[in-house]
Amino acid sequence: MKNTDLQTSQISFNGTRCSKHVASFSTSISILFHKEVESRETKQQPPTWPSQASNHRKLAPAWYSATPIFMQACQNIWPCNASSTWRCPNSCNILCRGCKSRLKGFTPYGDYWREMRKICVLELFSAKRVQSYRSIREEEVDSLINLISESSSSATPVNLTEMLFSLTASIVFRIAFGTTFERSGFNNHRFHQVVHDVQAMLGSYSAAEFIPYVGWIVDRLSGLHQRFERTFNELDRFFQYVVDNHLSAERTKTDHEDIIDVLLKLVREQTGFGAAQLSQDNIKAVLLNVFLGGVDTGAITMIWAMAELAKQPKLMKKAQDEVRTSIGNKGRVSESDIDQLEYLKMIVKETFRLHPPAALLLPRETISHFKVNGFEVHPKTTIHINAWAIGRDPGYWKSPEEFIPERFVDSSTDFKGQHFELLPFGSGRRVCPGIYMATTMVELGLANLLYWFDWKLPDGMKEEDINMEEEAGISLTISKKIALNLVPAKYSGTHQKIA
Ligand code: HEM
């Protein structure tokens, strides 16, 4: 069997091997291979892995479900000699202007990547820095609670999907760009369109990547190239505007340093970027990462969690009892209260298991040749780690399709990259650097929603009517297809309005 170029094969394997770059694997990984997947064993049978196969179709963008070959899981192996780097799609080249200042998530391993990673981990998303943004998160959550409180008097449904996107956008815009979402010039609709376009670009494959010399003509004729350019220009204008704003003498100082302040300080001091000078293009690349990685992932997680709880009122009640008992009449849940909320933390874990926002993590590209299940995998093969399928693998999870936060009672399994059966943030040196920021934001938002309100379904709707379909597309993230509308009723034990 020979299977080349645009054909895709899905390979799953169980692994408990180590390599220099990849620690021991103890889970089944399903990966999609692009380009030149070739087997020596020409009579290899298609896989007998029906549950996974149908799962993939449910999640599927067109090219995903069209996967022509499914193969049976093989030996325990993560290839020892195959380190991986990042695949930089053509769209990323356009977004980052020929990769002069690459989007970090798509940067191959090397000096540039190492320096950018160091800045992210030590300067931008360190525990101390994330703590310094605490007041922003709490203020924004308070505003959301006040907004919902106003609607709760009329007992009409609120669109939680829209509200939670606005919440995470407001937090990330203030932390990163030093401006509120409202003042950024984006309206809700346009903002979602841009995020969706950029993600679709990064998740898509352009003809230029597969057809040498002439592929770019196809991209121009299909309008893909123009779409990339348009989106790039819009984002570039926005990033230039916020950077210029920070450089302007008239800017009013805020009491915290936002991400642009930190990056500009590194430029001024010429530190933190090895021998090379950090350029404005590099700064824009970091901002793009934060824009893409920070906003919709957190909102998507909160929306799925609330949808799962609305489907199972008993679990919702248990979570509410925990937070209300623990907070009492304090009048608000602050970040320092979150550590006591064990059940809430299990809900968040379970949501990450069933609904990892970045279902396929980010694409990687193999550096060296290796073999899986008799299949030769050549250098420069694109690999997707399917965190979504791993989280639903019956080999590792009991009743994997059910939302059961209690499965984490007395379990040490966590989502920080050490347990390969739960990988919403990836693992290893590429693990999401925003993990602490993300979990803090999600836990705080959910705890407050559960503390302040009882949630009911709109009139005439039953639990089983809640639509749990995923938005299928080529976007990097998988969101709930239909907006979540619930009716809030202010909890009678908490009367005060937040100041
Ligand atoms: C629930 C929320 C989030 C989830 C599920 C998530 C998930 C991920 C995943 C899966 C990756 C790729 C890792 C890999 O492929 O191994 C990633 C990368 C990244 N994320 Fe997040 N993320 C979240 C929130 C955030 C936030 C709030 C920020 C910053 C404000 C952020 C910034 C980044 C950056 C900069 C990268 C690129 C890292 C690199 O290439 O080294 N993320 N994230």
Do 479 and 368 fall within a single domain? no
pLDDT at res. 408 = 98
CATH code, domain with 123:
1.10.630.10
* Residue matched to tokens 């503390």: 451
Q: Tell me the chain's radius of gyration from C-alpha atoms.
A: 23
Token reading at 459? 């009139």
Mean pLDDT of the chain: 74
* pLDDT above 50 for 31: no
| Ligand 1 proximity of 391 Cβ (cutoff 6 Å) | no
Assess whether 269 and 331 both reside in one domain: yes
Per DSSP, the residues of 149-216 read: HHHHTTT--EEHHHHHHHHHHHHHIIIIISS-TGGGS--HHHHHHHHHHHHHHHHS--HHHHSTTTHH
pLDDT(337) > 70: yes
Same domain, 70 and 181: no
B/e letters for 247-257, b = 16+ CB within 10 Å, e = fewer, are eeeeeeeeeeb
| pLDDT for 488 beyond 60 | yes
Kindly tell me if the per-residue pLDDT of 84 is higher than 60: no
- Distance (angstroms) between ligand 1 centre and the Cα of 30 equals 20
Predicted local distance difference test score (pLDDT) of residue 43: 36
Across 8-17, 171-180, 266-275, 433-442, which has the greatest mean pLDDT? Answer: 433-442
The percentage of residues in the chain with a pLDDT greater than 90, rounded to a whole number, is 37
**What's the average model confidence in pLDDT over 197-213?**
65
Cα-based distances in Å from 40 to 43, 372, 375, 463: 9, 11, 7, 51
Residue range(s) defining the domain that contains residue 25: 1-80+357-390
Q: DSSP class of residue 72? A: -
What local confidence, expressed as pLDDT, does residue 187 receive? Answer: 66
Query: Hunting for tokens 């919440």 — which residue is that?
Result: 167
Confidence check on the interface: ipTM exceeds 0.90, yes or no: yes
Give residue 63's pLDDT.
Answer: 30
Task: Determine the pLDDT at residue 456.
Answer: 95
Domain membership of residue 399 (yes or no) is: no
Range ranked top by mean pLDDT from 56-65, 291-300, 332-341, 464-473: 332-341
Mean pLDDT of 292-308: 93
Are 137 and 333 within 8 A, CB to CB?
Answer: no
Does residue 118 sit within a domain?
Answer: yes
Average the pLDDT over each of 288-297, 353-362, 407-416 and give the range with the smallest value: 288-297
126 and 163 co-located in one domain: yes
User: Taking a C-beta distance cutoff of 8 angstroms, is the pair 468, 191 a contact?
Assistant: no
Shared domain check, 317 and 217: yes
Q: Token digits for 455?
A: 């949630």
Alpha carbon of 323 to ligand 1 centroid (Å):
28
**277 in Cβ contact with 270 (< 8 Å):** yes
Please give the average per-residue pLDDT across 287-304, as a whole number. Answer: 90
Same domain? 255 vs 302: yes
Check if 430 has its Cβ closer than 6 Å to any atom of ligand 1: yes
Whether 412 maps to a domain, the answer reads: no
Query: Which segments are annotated as binding site for heme?
Result: 432
Beta-ladder partners of 3: 37
Report the sign of the C-alpha dihedral through residues 474, 66, 362, 37, in that order. negative
How is residue 216 written in tokens?
């770019």
The CA distance from 408 to 352, in Å, is: 12
Percentage, residues of the chain above pLDDT 70: 66
Distance from C-alpha of 167 to C-alpha of 175, rounded to nearest angstrom: 12
Distance CA 467, CA 483 (A): 9
Residue 474 predicted with pLDDT over 70 = no
User: Per-residue pLDDT for 72 more than 60?
Assistant: no
Whether residue 56 is found in the same domain as residue 121: no
Pocket lining: 294 vs ligand 1, CB cutoff 6 Å: yes
Q: Which of 196, 200, 199, 195 has the alpha carbon at shortest distance from 184?
A: 195
Q: Which of 390, 408, 432 is the last residue of a domain?
A: 390
> Is 403 inside a domain boundary?
no
pLDDT at 28 exceeding the cut of 70: no
What pLDDT shows up at residue 114?
Answer: 78
Ranking 59-73, 123-137, 221-235, 288-302 by mean pLDDT, the lowest is 59-73
Measured in Å, residue 355 CA sits from the centre of ligand 1 at: 15
Q: Is 362 in the pocket of ligand 1 (CB under 6 A)?
A: yes
Query: Can you tell me whether residue 43 is helix, strand or coil?
Result: coil
* Cα 94 to the center of its chain, rounded Å: 22
Whether residue 101 has pLDDT greater than 60: no
Does ligand 1 come within 6 angstroms of the Cβ of 293? yes
Binning pLDDT at 50, 70 and 90, where does residue 200 land?
low
Which among 444, 455, 445, 494 has a CA at the least distance from the CA of 151?
A: 455
What average pLDDT does the segment 197-222 reach? 67
| Residue of 91 and 399 predicted with greater confidence | 399
Q: Which residues contact 60 (CB under 8 A, 6 or more apart)?
A: 472
> Is position 435 within any domain?
yes
Are 324 and 286 in a shared domain? yes
Structural domain includes residue 411: no
Average pLDDT over residues 487-493: 89
24: CB partners within 8 A, 6+ apart: 15, 16, 17, 18
pLDDT, residue 290, reads 86
- pLDDT number for residue 298: 96
pLDDT at 293: 85
User: What is the mean predicted confidence (pLDDT) over 354-374?
Assistant: 84
Compute how many other C-beta atoms are within 10 angstroms of the C-beta atom of residue 432.
Answer: 24
pLDDT of residue 247: 86
The DSSP bridge pattern shows strands 485-490 and 375-377 to be: unpaired
pLDDT of residue 54: 35
Residue 57 has pLDDT above 80, yes or no: no
Pocket test for ligand 1, best of 425, 429, 444, 478 (most atoms within 8 A of CB): 425
Q: Report whether pLDDT(4) > 80.
A: no
Q: Same domain for 51 and 180?
A: no
Give bridge partners of residue 366 from the DSSP assignment. Answer: 84
Question: Is the domain of 250 the same as that of 376?
Answer: no
Give first-to-last CA distance, the chain, whole Å: 68
Q: What is the dihedral of CA 129, 135, 138, 142, to 10 degrees?
A: -150
Per-residue CA distances from 160 to 147, 166, 200 (Å): 11, 10, 24
Q: How many structural domains is the chain composed of?
A: 2
Q: Where are the beta strands (DSSP E) in 379-481?
A: 382-385, 453-456
**Residue 397 domain-assigned?**
no
Report the predicted TM-score, pTM, of the whole model to 2 decimal places: 0.79
**Alpha carbons 303 and 116: distance in angstroms, whole number:** 31
Is 124 in the same domain as 210? Answer: yes
- Do 258 and 131 reside in the same domain of the chain? yes
Mean pLDDT of 275-300: 82
Q: How many residues does the chain have?
A: 499
Ligand 1 center from residue 191 Cα (angstroms):
19
Is residue 407 in a domain?
A: no
